[in-house]
Amino acid sequence: MAHPANCFGRETKTFHCKVRSNPGRNTSNNGSATGLSITTYPNPSNGQFIFSVLAANLNGNADIDIIVYNMNGVPIAGLKSVMQTGSIENLIWDANKVSAGVYYYSAKTTDGALVSGKLVKL
Domains in the chain, CATH or no CATH each: 7-121 (2.60.40.1930)
**Is the separation of the CB atoms in 62 and 83 below 8 Å?**
yes
| DSSP one-letter string for 57-85 | S-SSSEEEEEEEE-TTS-EEEEEEEEE-T
pLDDT at position 41 is: 94
pLDDT at position 110 is: 83
AA identity, residue 6: N
- Give the pLDDT of the chain (122 residues) as one tens digit per residue: 333 333 333 333 333 333 323 333 344 544 445 578 899 999 999 999 999 998 877 777 888 999 999 999 999 999 998 888 788 889 999 999 999 999 999 999 887 888 999 999 99
CA–CA separation, 88 vs 86, rounded Å? Answer: 7
pTM here?
Answer: 0.72
Residue 68, number of CB atoms within 10 A of its CB = 22
